[in-house]
Amino acid sequence: MTENTTHFGFKRVAAEEKAGLVRGVFDSVAEHYDIMNDLMSMGIHRIWKRIAVQLSNVRKGEQVLDLAGGTGDLTTLFEQRVGDEGNVVLADINAQMLRTGRNRLIDRGLVGNVQYTQVNAECLPFADGSFDCVCIAFGLRNVTDKDAALRSMYRVLKPGGRAIVLEFSHPIDPVTEKVYDFYSFNLLPKIGKWVAKDEDSYRYLAESIRMHPKQGELKAMMETAGFERCEYFNMTQGIVAVHRGYKL
């Protein structure tokens, strides 16, 4: 990989173009994002998210940053944990996704301890040591400079804080891998075409998962960014993994 190029799915693009291309994908799918998540995962994504929140060990009164928070599923779960004394910031680089999430949570009555901000994960606009937990769910693979994002997450954590990365990953057995590949490249784009009227965006999502670092690689990247006691937890045979690291 040269310094001025990166991957967008299986394609090579100029690094400065990737954010705009990813924005186009999520502008397109925002309206159907939640129903597509349910269809793509047969509803299992809700279990994955609950497990990630449990592993965060977030408690009442804490400050949480939900990066790439999209339509607010994780923010809703975190808000229940931090209570009135705590605070959750729902952040996303994509304005349309953030707008969809904000409207959804306001409709649910979550207005007191939830804030919204449009940010780039690579250069978070928060002071050092602002949060007890930073979570990024199904978003790190879309970031152009993942190392910069991990360093930025580390910087805004308080001492004793923890980072949670919930992301599609790599199956740990060949049978699951073959079934998953068939589903991802043959069925997923068709579901996107039928439901969201966008086959190409869901083909990109499948490709972006394959280009994402494997479990051990991402663990090493977190350690390089400064995190300690890093570990990961495979779910659904490694199709999804939760990585956790601490700022000590």
Domains of the chain: 5-172+203-246 (3.40.50.150)
pTM attached to this predicted model: 0.90
Average pLDDT, the chain: 91
Per-residue pLDDT band for 2 (boundaries 50, 70, 90) equals: very low
| pLDDT number for residue 133 | 98
Average pLDDT over residues 149-165: 98
Which residue ranges make up the annotated binding site?
71, 92, 120-121
Reply yes or no on whether the pLDDT at 165 is more than 50.
yes
Least confident segment among 127-131, 142-146, 193-197 = 193-197
DSSP-derived 3-state class of residue 71: coil
**pLDDT for 55-66, tens place per residue?**
999 999 999 999
Beta bridge partners of 244: 164, 231
Q: What is the pLDDT of residues 90-130, one digit of tens each?
A: 999 998 889 989 999 999 888 789 999 999 999 999 999 99
CA dist., res. 93 & res. 143, Å (int): 10
pLDDT given for residue 131 in this prediction: 98
Cα–Cα distance measured from residue 227 to residue 230, given in angstroms and rounded to the nearest whole number: 7
Provide DSSP, 128-197.
Answer: TT-EEEEEEES-GGG-S-HHHHHHHHHHHEEEEEEEEEEEE---SSHHHHHHHHHIIIIIHHHHIIIIIS
Residue ranges for the known binding site for S-adenosyl-L-methionine are: 71, 92, 120-121
Q: What is the pLDDT of residue 29?
A: 65
